[in-house]
Structure 1
Amino acid sequence: MIADRIDALLADKGYDSDAVRDTLTSMNVEAVIPARRNRRNPAAYDRGKYRWRNQIERLFNKLKNWRRVATRYDKTAESYIGFVSLASVLLWLPFVHDA
């Protein structure tokens, strides 16, 4: 199960509800979700971890620039994951390549 492999869930204010927080707490997953403006008792969250949400979201947006990833042409999950891995490496290369 995926909950066994994660330590924290990063989400935006749209996921701020007691039901989501209770479910995550029961699975021993830290909820890194800022409170909505109208919440009576705002729950604390780790702002340092929440900053990673923006970078992760931008990575997915860059991956979706690849038409094959965005439209999911691949028939099997293995070939789809393989192409996502290839696209991720190609996005990562400019950051590690020193010219």
Structure 2
Amino acid sequence: ALGNLVDFTLLKGQQHDTAGVKPLIKDKEFGALLADRAFDTDWLLLDLEERGSKAVIPPKRSRLKQRDFDKEMYKWRHLIENFFCKLKDFKKIAMRAEKTDESFAANIYLAA
């Protein structure tokens, strides 16, 4: 998506990021998933393999068997990070100033 927002799921602050992956990718088709080490989980890698999608996720250092990943494609992840930086330019989003989740989500859609 060239660093643009395709979809998002607002999670509770105390949940790990991988908790929101299943509903986010449920009915989507994509060639590759670019993510950081936190998303290096067996269930996600298996799901991506079954879909025929490429997992561009560096392996955790604690993995017993290190696997390869496309380092050149992983460099594109800066587009995602740049998008988050742009979002943080909006004060209400950066400071989480909205009282309800719906208002916060609406601001993210507007800023995107």
> Aligning the two structures, in what range does the TM-score lie when normalised by the shorter sequence?
0.5 to 0.7
Structure 1 unmatched ranges of 5 or more? 86-99
Matches within 5 A, 1:27-46: 27-46=51-70
**Normalised by the size of structure 2, how large is the TM-score?**
0.57
Tell me the residue number matched to 2:37: 13
Percent of aligned positions that are identical: 33
Cα deviation for residue 67 of structure 1 reads: 3.0
With CA pairs under 8 Å and 6+ residues apart, which has the higher RCO, 1 or 2? 2
CA distance, structure 1, for counterparts of residue 43 and residue 107 of structure 2: 36
Matches within 5 A, 1:72-83: 81=109, 83=110
Structure 2 unmatched ranges of 5 or more? 1-23
**Structure 1 residue ranges (4+ consecutive) displaced by more than 6 angstroms after TM superposition:** none
Over the aligned positions, Cα root-mean-square deviation in angstroms equals 2.7
Tell me the residue number matched to 2:73: 49
**Pair member with larger Rg:** 1
Cα deviation for residue 72 of structure 1 reads: 8.6
Tell me the residue number matched to 2:111: 84
Which structure is higher in helix share? Answer: 1
CA distance, structure 1, for counterparts of residue 60 and residue 86 of structure 2: 28
